[in-house]
Structure formats: structure tokens, C-alpha cells
Amino acid sequence: MDRPFALLAELTYDCPLHCAYCSNPLDLASYTDELTTAEWQRVIAEARELGALQLHLSGGEPLRRRDLVELVRTGRELGMYSNLVTSGLGFSPARAEQLRAAGLDHVQISVQADEPSLSDRLAGTPSYARKLDAARLVRQLGWPLTVNVVLHRQNLDRIDGILELVEEMGADRVELANTQYYGWAWRNRDGLLPSRAQLERAEQSVRAARERLQDRMQILYILPDYYERYPKPCMGGWAARQIVLAPDGAALPCLAAHDLPLPRASVREHSLAWIWAESPLFQQFRGTDWMADPCRSCERRELDFGGCRCQAFQLTGDPARTDPVCHLSPDHGLVAEAVRNAGDRANDPAPRGEPTLLPRPHPRSTAPRSVPLKEVRQ
């Protein structure tokens, strides 16, 4: 694709939840100078001119933006399909009616677990009941509903109950996405990475649910990269399909690229068209010319595009390295060791010195409180 298919607008990193697996930046305070309503409207129009058909409104919690209804209306007037990615908190009947009148097309709600106390602990705040209320409201107003569940060591064994809950919520689609280790999730990897045995049990549950619900609900199950033989293509390839905009106007080719030591691109300084076509950031790893071996000579190079640049940087300090998830990578031992450690902890009946989970703080907070895993487990 030579044009972006979608714009993912991260309107704010402000969020009522404090999830330990959040992939947003660690330095949240650097993103509090958010784009104004007029700036967002200009950028949405520029994205449509580039060819973007979808507008995904995310965060943080996009409902924290008072101008959300105006931004949805802007997308509708431009002919874009709009999707609200929300925790469900703040999704009141009045706000929902306003969003429907403005032309919102779809709602995606996150769920942490199927059991109320565990869900609230993983979210870092009482939220379980309000999420169910939000889902009911979505169905009452006739929107398609997707439920997103980030899976990890602390909730993966409850996947049967999670699927039952999602079915009760009346979801059209569920995304069971194993944690990607960026941002806060990277800080908490040791406490979040599941064991192979957990994953095998979960896959059996997903297969059974797909057979039972094939005519009623689409189930998307995404394996964790660390357990794959080959890496996944990052967003379909670096700067190939989508533009991500951070709250302060930083344009990114993927969700975690804010941590890479690369030139920045901002819609406050350049047009979206220039950023997409000419900025050094978006050109850096586009296509395959940048690759070294083993990627350059691999027959899969145009399938996975070398894997995730952000993951390569997290694990090796070099975003140009082959993604260590790949079994052909010279750095694959880094992933294999993490997987072995996850299995060792699962087989230890009385683990000692377990890591703590560091919750995502408020954007203006500087000293988040660590939560021992024993407080998270049911």
C-alpha cells in the first residue's frame, strides 16, 4: 500500500485505569500538551486526503476529551468509519447518545478478567461493573461491539470464564491479544509473561469456543510473540498501512515507536502528507532495503518485514537488528531465556522473590506504587 488505510488517534494518555500491561510511554508527563480540537480536525482531514478510510479514537481514555463528539462528527463528515477504543468508564447514556448522533460507527471496550475483584485489581481501579454497563449501552444503541482482552500470566488461566463473559456481553467480536512487551508491559514482563503450559490450555479453550460460537461471535486469538517461530509483521510492515498520532502531535509508524532513537515527526511542524511520504522516521524501515542478514536473504522478508523494530530495540538496543523472536535471529537466546524463566516460575510450587507489577500512573504522577503479584492473583 502506498497510502495509509487508517489513522489511530491517541487523543490523550489520561486514563482512569492503571493497567500494568499498558504499552503507552513511560514518560507520560511529556505528552500532556495535547493537540487542540482544531489541530485534531485538521489532521483528520489530512489523513482522509491521504486516503485513510478508518478513524480509530483511542488513548489513554478518549472519553476524557471533551471534544470527542466533535472529532467523531468531523470523521463522519469526511466519510470515515469511526471506532471508539475505550475502557467503558465515562460512557454515560447522555454521552453515548451524543456520539451516536455524531455518527460513531463502532465501539471497542476493554475487559481485564471475568471475575470482578480480579478485574478491578488488574485495572487498578473499580471498573468491572461499569464495563458491563457500557457494553449493555452499546448493544441498546445498536452499535457493533468488540471486546478486547489483553491476556497475560495473571488472567490466562481464566480464559473459559472470559469467553463466557464476552458472550454474555453480546459482543460481535472478541480480540484475545496476548501482551506485547512495550512501555509498562516491558517493565512488568517477568510478572506478565505466561508459561507454555498456560498457552497450550488457552489454545484448547479458544478452539472449543470457536466451534461453539462460529455463527455468533468472531474470536481473534493472538499468540505472544515470544512463543512464535517467526515474528509478526509490524503493523503490516513499517509505515505501510496506518499512521499513529500521539496526544502531542507526534506522528508514528506504529504504537511503540516513540521509544526508538530516531528522528521525530510532528503534525505541529509538518503536514501529514509530508510525514507519510518524506519524513526520515517513516522512511527508516519501510520496505526491505534497510535489512541485513539473516533478514536480507530470507524468503519471508516480505511477509514479516524483519519483525518488530520496537521489540528489536527493547531486547538488543538496536532497532535495525532482526527481531529476536525469530528463531533465525542471532539474538534469539534473549527470548528463549525469558520463556524458560516463565516456565520455571510456573513449575515452582513456592516461588521466591517474585517480581512486582508496576501499575501505569496518572500522566502527571511521578512515583507510581508497585503492586506485589500476590495482590493481583485471585
DSSP annotation of 296? T
Backbone angles phi, psi at 149, to 5 degrees: -125, 115
173-184 residue pLDDT tens? 999 999 999 999
Beta carbons of 131 and 111 less than 8 angstroms apart:
yes
- Can you point out the beta strands (E) in 152-230? 173-178, 218-222
Determine the average pLDDT of the residues in 168-176. 97
Beta carbons of 155 and 113 less than 8 angstroms apart:
yes
In the chain the first and final C-alpha atoms are separated, in Å, by: 46
pLDDT at 368 over 80: no
C-alpha cell at 233: 509483521
More reliable by pLDDT, 373 or 93: 93
Burial class (CB in 10 A: 0-12, 13-18, 19+), 113: buried
Antiparallel, parallel or unpaired: β 145-151 and 173-178: parallel
84-105 residue pLDDT tens? 999 999 999 999 999 999 999 9
320-340 residue pLDDT tens? 999 999 999 999 999 999 999
Q: Point out the annotated binding site for [4Fe-4S] cluster.
A: 15, 19, 22
Given pLDDT bands bounded at 50, 70 and 90, which one contains residue 376?
very low
Nearest to 331 by CA among 344, 312, 350, 353: 312
Q: What is the pLDDT of residue 276?
A: 97
Q: Point out the annotated binding site.
A: 15, 19, 22
pLDDT at 269 over 50: yes
Structural domain spans, the chain: 6-227
Please spell the DSSP secondary structure of 239-294, one letter per residue. TSSEEEE-TTSBEESSTTGGGSSS---BTTTS-HHHHHHH-HHHHTTSSSTT--TT
Query: What is the chain's mean pLDDT, rounded?
Result: 91
Which range among 2-11, 294-303, 355-364 shows the weakest confidence by mean pLDDT? 355-364
Class of domain 6-227: alpha beta
